[in-house]
Amino acid sequence: MKLLEGGRAGQIWRDGNTVIRPSGAWTPTVHRFLRHLRSRGFPGAPDPIEITGNQEVVSYVSGRVCEDLSDQFVGSERMLLSAARLLREFHSASQGFLESDRAVQAWMLPPQEPREIICHGDYAPYNVATAGHEAVGIIDFDTAHPAPRIWDLAYSVYRWAPLSDPANPHVTFGLDDQLQRAEIFCTAYGATMQERLQLPEMICRRLQALIDYILPSAAAGDETFVEHVARGDARLYLSDMHYVRSHRNRLLKALC
C-alpha cells in the first residue's frame, strides 16, 4: 500500500485501484450518494466499495491532484474552464438524491436551505483530479451535504480565483486576475445573473460557516480541525471575508 499525501496526513492509503480512508457517521449516506452519481451517468467520482469498522474503501480516481495555482498546469484558463464545467455536471447528476434516497441521511456538515442539490462542500483544486490539462474527477466527498447550488459555486469561485489577499502566502494572482478568473468560472459554470449578484455575500457566508464548524470541532478535540486552527485557517478565512467585502463592488462589476 502507498500512503497518499494531502489532507489527514498518514490516514489515507492507496491499495492498487482502491483508496482506504477514515470513515464517519456520514459515510453510509455518502456511499449511497456516490452510487446515485454513477446511476446518473457521472463518471468523475469514486465508486463506493465497502465500509469496515472505522474505514471506508472507494475506487481510486486517477489523475494528477495539485492545489498550487502557480503551477502552470493547474492555474491555466483551460483548467479553470474545465473545473467549472465539471462542477456543473456534478451538480446536475446530484439532483434527485434527496427525493429518491429513503434511508436515514447523515451529513458531516449541516444542510443549508433551500436544499436544492447535494453540494460537494470542498470543491477546490486539491480535491479535483486532472488529466490532459483538464479537470476530470472529484475526490473526498466527506463534506458533501444538501444546499443550494450557489453554496458550492461560491466556495468554488473563492478557491479557484482565488479570492484571497495577494499578500497572503501561496496566493498567485493579483486582484485583476482574480476578478477575471471569477468571471470565467461563473460563465463556464452557467451562473445566472441572480447567482452572480449574490456571490460576494454568499462567499462570506460560506467562510463564516466554515469558521463556525472548525472552531467548535477543534475545541472538542477533533485532531483534523485542531491542526486546521493551529495553522491559522480560521484567521485566514476571516481575512479573506474582509478582502471579499472590501472589493465587493469590483467583484460585482466583473461578474455582472
If you average pLDDT over every residue of the chain, what do you get?
94
Radius of gyration (Cα) for the chain, nearest Å?
Answer: 18
| C-beta atoms surrounding 212 within 10 Å | 12
| C-beta atoms surrounding 233 within 10 Å | 17
**Nearest C-alpha neighbor of 73 from the set 138, 129, 120:** 129
197 located within any domain: yes
- Is residue 150 pLDDT above 90, yes or no? yes
Q: Between these two residues, 68 and 175, which has the higher pLDDT value?
A: 175
- Is residue 153 pLDDT above 80, yes or no? yes
Confidence of residue 67 (pLDDT cuts 50, 70, 90): confident
pLDDT at position 5: 63
pLDDT digits (tens, 9 = 90+) for 167-179: 887 888 999 999 9
In percent, the amount of the chain with pLDDT more than 90 equals: 81
In percent, the amount of the chain with pLDDT more than 70 equals: 96
How do 48-52 and 55-59 pair as beta strands?
antiparallel
pLDDT at position 53: 87
Decide: pTM greater than 0.85.
yes
250 touches 179 (CB < 8 A): yes
81 located within any domain: yes
> Which runs of consecutive H residues, i.e. helices, occur in the chain?
27-39, 77-94, 97-100, 149-160, 175-189, 193-219, 223-230, 233-246, 248-255
pLDDT at position 91: 98
pLDDT at position 225: 85
**Measured between alpha carbons, how far is 83 from 86 in angstroms, rounded to an integer?**
5
Residues 55, 84, single domain; the answer is no
- Is residue 8 pLDDT above 60, yes or no? no
83 touches 75 (CB < 8 A): no
217 located within any domain: yes
Query: How many domains does the chain contain in total?
Result: 2
69 located within any domain: no
What is the domain range of residue 133? 77-255
71 located within any domain: no
Residues 54, 143, single domain; the answer is no
Amino acid code (one letter) for 96 = G
